[in-house]
Amino acid sequence: MIISNKEYGYIRVSTREQNEDRQLIALREIDIPEQNIFLDKQSGKDFERPQYRRLVKKLKPDDLLYIKSIDRLGRNYAEILEQWRVLTKEKGIDIVVLDMPILDTRRGKDLMGTFLSDIVLQVLSFVAENERSSIRQRQAEGIAAAKAKGVRFGRPLKPLPENYPSVYRRWKAGAITGTAAAEECGMPLSTFRYRAGLYEKNIP
């Protein structure tokens, strides 16, 4: 086994998850020094990962990086493979994926070992991306189903002004324009029309 110059750990969680404890405990169990553990809390839309960039700059050939699972390296299949290539080929470090012991670049340094490791990596990267896509699809379907049942998302709507029902009826009958109706209710025309649609569905 190659003895690394330094051992590091990397943790990534989204701001929604806030569950770095599981990854942190796993790294502490293998005695990674606290100062060598880098943590990013990034949302799905913001993937700049400042701590990861700091870590990559610190890494030297033969250093050893531990991560809890393969999807900590990227958001999708292509990104995971690219980061794996940068770390192992360009930086010349070893990587250990704690959830998948076969992904330990200290082992199988010969051609066949590298070949098998690359195949496993590609399969797992694809599975990780596919799982995330499935989760997003299920979330989207759940939101659509909830909306169809009348569940509203976002900030609560302001109560309608007391004169809204009478103004709405006059507007609906064509007695006043939408602009005039909106002004009487003290709201923008777009808001008046939006609330009219909800009002017609008996949604306050």
Rg (CA), the chain: 27
User: Which residues are annotated as catalytic?
Assistant: 14
| Spatial CB neighbours of 139, under 8 Å, sequence gap ≥ 6 | none
Q: Which phi-psi region, left, alpha or beta, contains residue 46 (left: φ > 0; alpha: ψ -120 to 50)?
A: beta
Of 203, 160, 162, 195, nearest to 178 by C-alpha is: 195
CA of 113: how far to CAs of 84, 92, 133, 135, 136, in Å?
16, 17, 30, 33, 35
The DSSP element (H or E) to which 96 belongs, if any, is strand 94-97
The rounded distance, in Å, linking the Cα atoms of 162 and 174 is: 20
Burial, 108: exposed, middle or buried (Cβ in 10 Å; 0-12, 13-18, 19+)? middle
